Amino acid sequence: MDVLGKMIKYARQERHLTQEEPGKPVGVQKSQISKLESSANAHGGLILFGKTI
């Protein structure tokens, strides 16, 4: 797990959110949140809120 993945997971868990809840407002599926948190998708961390950063 990389630093970004750890930060996302920590922030989500601190707010007692499921992986589905933070993605709903921005149209990101639960599976993508899971990939970001576990770093399963090497470049997935660069795509947030439907925009490449």
pLDDT tens sequence across 1-53:
578 888 889 999 999 999 999 989 888 889 888 988 887 655 554 555 555 44
- The whole-number pLDDT of residue 17 equals 95
H helix runs in the chain, sequence order: 3-14, 30-38
- The whole-number pLDDT of residue 1 equals 55
Q: Which of 52, 36, 29, 47 is nearest to 4 (CA)?
A: 36
Give the predicted TM-score (pTM) of the model. 0.67
Asked if residues 36 and 4 have their Cβ atoms less than 8 Å apart, the reply is yes
Q: Which of 53, 52, 22 is nearest to 37 (CA)?
A: 22
3-state secondary structure of 17: coil
- The whole-number pLDDT of residue 52 equals 47
